[in-house]
Structure 1
Amino acid sequence: MDALSAAFVLVADPYVLWVVLASSLFGMFVGAMPGLTATMATALLVPVTFFMPPVPALAAIVSATTMAIFAGDIPAAMLRMPGTPASAAYTDESYAMARKGQLDLNLGTNLVFSVVGGLFGVAVLIVAAPLLAEIALNFSSYEYFWLAALGLSCAVLIATLDPLKGFVSLLLGLAIGTIGIDPAAGFPRFTFGTVELMQGISFIPAMIGLFAISEILRSSVAMEGGFEAVEGKVGSIFKGIGAVARRYWFNVLRGSVIGTVIGALPGAGADIAAWISYAVSKRFSKEPEKFGTGHLEGIVDATSANNSALGGAWIPALVFGIPGDSITAIVIGVLYMKNMNPGPMVFIQNPQFIYAVFLIFILANLLMLPLGWAAIKSAKVILRTPRNVLVPLILIFCVVGSYAMTNSIYGVVVMLAMGIAGWLLEENGFPVAPIILGLVLGEMFEQNFMTSMIKSDGSFLAFFERPIAGVLGGLTVAVWGLFAYKAVRGLSGLRAATA
């Protein structure tokens, strides 16, 4: 109760409340602009959080990402262009509703059930995170090794349609993570005599490059003007929402549960949660033939799922230091930057900060209602913002932020190199999120493996002797077996097709 009281005091600080409001407006704007993702909004905020205390820094990220995920629904309905990947699953459905004259009902549904889904995810986070942290206090290097291995494996299996390309991206991230000082032996690796590389590849500039610079390069291909929104004036967006809630209450619950569970899986995130929830909705619907024609049922499921996934993704990030998605990968970097190393000890050493994050999550989701209403009403003006104005401003912000992280041009060089690499990879179908996961989890994976091998005197059986380690090891090996099975089946299919 003392920690909770202290958290209320921290959140009630006028400076924190101002940060929440400003970040919410920023997240709403970025999310509403097609191509500027929620991850990009988070990446752009990191340089600003460098100069903030821990609570305002985390408040900025929580508020911006919460708003950005919803705001992506606005251009999806008006332009048939999802503002963020989390809205892509039901973009055609939303646009079809808008073309049928149901834009108000569609956007009102997106807004209200985004709030409901977000609050559900936060409720699960509040309940599950402290319980899991108590269990995690008993973890040794064996358990953390298997957690890192399982997180890396699941990220490839779940977060991409092409596991092989995801695996290549993951290996690339792990390889980049080995640059610098060996954590076990203290010996320089792959530094090529460069002093800057002895500190390793700086995580924040690399992340800004992969997510922000790559998007800038992609956006620069089409720089003409703004966007043309669907015709028609936005009226009363809350009219008819009560009837939708009564008819589809089970869909809201199902989508929220699916979103929270998928969000908690390493590497999955809100976009995967939305796709799976939309597919489940269509599979079990009594009217599957209406999907794709502007049917509200799938939208209710998916918009609840992608917002609840945000809270779910914070569970492994806070408790184990394993990112649930690319956003929480950035959050982990911010936590380390603020000397709040993620893991079970943070619940003991800084419980007031954790409770403050919970309260900010609740506040941000409640604030989404009035700000979302205002964003919907002014959407047509926002969407006319020329890209040739936005892109240079974002680029300047990225350069300044990367320089501030390292206090040298080294950070800018890392950012630009990773940005070009990320753009080339994505243009060829390779996802960049596994690269970030490899950078984040690589050191944890390697350090705990070396520590465990030293403790067990080189015995691999010791990795399975402890009960929790044995279970996690079994799950990881099962995932690897699934990889092997898919590879063999794919090879057999290829041979049959060419025979």
Structure 2
Amino acid sequence: MMDLQAALGMVFDWQVLLTIVAASMFGLFIGAIPGLTATMATALLVPLTFFMDPLPAIAAIVSATAMAIVAGDIPGALLRIPGTPASAAYTDEAWRMGREGRIGQALGVNLVCSVIGGVIGVAILAFFAPLVADFAIQFTSDEYFWLALLGLSCAVLVSGSDPLKGAISMLLGLLISMVGMSSVSGQMRFIFGIPELLSGISILPVLIGLFAIAELLRRLPEVGKLNLPAAPTVRRPFEGVGRITWRYKGGVARSGVLGTLIGALPGAGADIASWICYALARKLSRTPEKFGTGHPEGLVSASSANNAALSGAYIPALVFGIPGDTITAIIIGVLMMKGITPGPDVFTTDTVLVYAIFIVFLLANLLLLPLGLLAIRGARHILAVPAAMLYPLILLFCIVGAYATNNSMLDVVIMLILGLLAWLLAENEFPIGPMILAVILGPILEGNFLRSMIKANGDVLMLVDRPIAATLGTLAILVWVAIIVSTLWSMRRTSQATAPQHNNN
């Protein structure tokens, strides 16, 4: 009880509350601009967190992320352009509701169900994370090695239709994580005679480069010619929302729980959660033929799932230091910059901070209602900001943020190089998620493997001599078998599809 009171005192400090509100407004703005994702909003906030205490830094990212996901629904419903990938699953549904004169109802359903899903996710996070942490205290370097490998494996498996490209992206991330001096052996790797690289590549320029710079490069051709159609005015955004939400209350609850569980899978994230829950709602619906015609049932389920997934991703991040998605990977990087290493010990050494994070989550989700309503009312003005003005300001902010890490131009160069690399990969349909997860998990994977080998005198079989380690190792191997089978199946289908064309020629 004393810890909870101390956590409440930390959260309800005027500076923390001001940070939450300011970050929420920023997230609403970024999320409502088509193409600027919640991940980009988070990456742009990272330079500011460099100057904050741990709790305001986490509060800023949590608030901005939740708001950006909800704000991404606005251009989807108004213009049929999803603001964030997590909104893409139900963009057509919301837009068709708007064509029928129910645009306010569509956005109101999105907002209310996002809040409910977010609260369900926070409740599961607050209840299960400490229980999992108690169990995780028994872990040794063997278990952490397999857990990190399992996290990377899952990230590759869910990265897209081509797991091979996901694996290549992951290996590039592992390569970036190995730059510098080994924390176990002291061996210098890939420094190319540059002394600044002895300590490795800082996480901040990596995050900004892979997300913000890559997205700017992708959007560059649109500058000067991107003319969005005028957005309609939204009236009566909560009309009939209570009735719809109550009618599909089972779908809201189911998607809130399932979204949280999907979010806890490394590499999955809110966009995958929303697609899965939308598809499940259609499969279980009594009227599946109405989906895609402006039917609110899929809208209710998917919008509940994507916000719940945000909370779920923090379960492995806080308990094991294994990011559930790219946003929690950024959070882990921020915590490490603050001298806090996520893991089961944080629940005993920083109990007050953990409670404060849970309260911030709840507060950020409750703030969605008033601030989300404000964003819906002001949608026309947000969407009217010209890209030619916005993108150069974002680039300037990125450069300043990367330089501020170590007051080094090398970090700016690394940011730009990685941004160009990420853009090239994205243009060729390589997923970026596995790369950033590998950058975070690489040192955990390598360090724990080397420590286990030192303890076991090089006997690899000792990695599976404990029941938990053997279970995690089996799961990791099964995931890689699934990746190989999926890749071979995809290659076979491609060859079968091209064979008739060659025969016809």
Question: Matched residues in 1 for 2:326 and 2:220: separation?
Answer: 23
In the TM superposition, residue 341 of structure 1 has moved relative to its aligned partner by: 0.6
Show CA shifts across 1:151-179 (max 9, x none): 00000101322211111100111111111
Distance 1:319 1:93 in 2: 37
Q: Kindly provide the CA deviation profile for residues 254-280 of structure 1, in whole angstroms up to 9, marking residues without a partner as x.
A: 111121011000011000101111111
Rounded to whole Å, the distance in 2 between the matches of 1:493 and 1:56 is: 50
Counterparts of 1:235 and 1:124, CA distance in 2: 35
| Alpha-carbon displacement from aligned partner over 1:393-443 (angstroms, at most 9, x marks no partner) | 101100000000121101101110111111111011011111101100001
2:121 maps to: 121
Question: For the residues of structure 2 that align with 1:465 and 1:443, how far apart are their CA atoms?
Answer: 23
Separation of aligned partners in 1, 2:496 and 2:66: 47
- What pairs with 1:225-236 in structure 2 (closer than 5 Å)? 227-231=228-232, 233-236=233-236
Distance 2:256 2:159 in 1: 19
Question: Which residue is 2:366 aligned to?
Answer: 366
SS at match of 1:221: helix
Q: CA deviation at 1:460?
A: 2.1
For residue 370 of structure 1, report the CA deviation from its aligned partner.
0.5
Cα gap change, 1:257 to 1:229, in 2 (>3 Å): farther
Paired letter, 2:43: A
Q: What residue identity is the alignment partner of 1:354?
A: V
Name the residue aligned to 1:423.
423
| SS of match in other structure, 2:294 | coil
Contact kept, 8 Å, 2:25 with 2:371, in 1: the verdict is yes
**AA in 2 matched with 1:228:** P
**What is the Cα deviation at residue 225 of structure 1?**
5.4
DSSP 3-state at the match of 1:82: coil
Residue 68 of structure 2 is aligned to residue 68 of structure 1: yes
Deviation at 1:228, TM superposition (A): 2.0
Residues in 2 aligned to 1:493 and 1:10: alpha-carbon distance in whole angstroms: 56
How many Å apart are 1:482 and its aligned residue?
A: 1.2
Equivalent pairs, count: 498
What residue number does 2:166 align with? 166
Q: What corresponds to 1:27 in structure 2?
A: 27
Aligned partners of 1:226, 1:381: CA distance in 2, in Å? Answer: 14
Alignment partner, residue 274 of structure 1: 274
Superposed CA offset, 1:84-107 (max 9, x none): 110011111111111111101100
**What is the SS of the residue equivalent to 1:220?**
helix
Q: Is the Cα–Cα contact under 8 Å of residues 77 and 98 in structure 2 kept in the other structure?
A: yes
Structure 1 portions without partners, runs of 5+: none
**1:192 positional shift:** 1.2
Query: Within 5 Å, which residues of 2 pair with 1:238-277?
Result: 238-277=238-277
Deviation at 1:487, TM superposition (A): 3.1
Contact 1:98–1:230 at 8 Å: present in 2 too? no
Does the Cα contact within 8 Å between 1:70 and 1:110 map onto a contact in 2?
yes
Report matched runs for 1:267-346 at 5 Å: 267-346=267-346
Question: Which position in structure 1 is the counterpart of 2:503?
Answer: none
Aligned mates of 1:251, 1:493 — CA distance in 2: 35
User: Identity of counterpart residues, as a percentage?
Assistant: 56
Deviation at 1:495, TM superposition (A): 5.4
Deviates more, 1:430-439 or 1:324-333: 430-439
CA drift at 1:344 = 0.7
Following the alignment from structure 1 to structure 2, what is the Cα–Cα distance between the partners of residues 145 and 201? 22
Given the two structures, how large is their TM-score scaled by the length of structure 2?
0.97
The alignment's C-alpha RMSD in Å is: 1.2
Q: Which runs of 5+ in 2 are unaligned?
A: 501-505
Q: Partners of 2:361 and 2:26 in 1: how far apart?
A: 16
Contact 2:163 2:487 in 1 (8 A): no
C-alpha separation in 1, matches of 2:480 and 2:172:
19
Per-residue deviation, 1:25: 0.4
Residue in 1 that maps onto 2:466: 466
Q: How far apart in 2 are the matches of 1:200 and 1:441?
A: 14
**Corresponding position of 1:477:** 477
> 1:228–1:384: 8 Å Cα contact kept in structure 2?
no
SS of aligned partner of 2:222:
coil
The answer (yes or no) to whether the contact 1:180–1:199 under 8 Å persists in 2 is yes
User: By how many angstroms is 1:222 displaced?
Assistant: 0.5
Structure 1 position 183, deviation (Å): 2.3
1:101 and 2:101 are equivalent in the alignment: yes
Question: For the residues of structure 1 that align with 2:31 and 2:283, how far apart are their CA atoms?
Answer: 29
Structure 2: distance between partners of 1:495 and 1:88: 30
Counterpart residue identity of residue 298, structure 1: G
The answer on whether the counterparts of 1:260 and 1:309 sit within 8 Å (CA) in structure 2 is yes
* 1:181-219 Cα deviation digits (max 9, x unpaired): 122210111111111222222211011011001111112
Q: Give, in whole Å, the separation in 1 of the partners of 2:489 and 2:53.
A: 52
Q: 1:322 to 1:381 in 2, by over 3 A?
A: same
Q: For residues 489 and 409 of structure 1, what CA distance do their matches in structure 2 show?
A: 46
Contact kept? 1:177, 1:200, Cα under 8 Å: yes
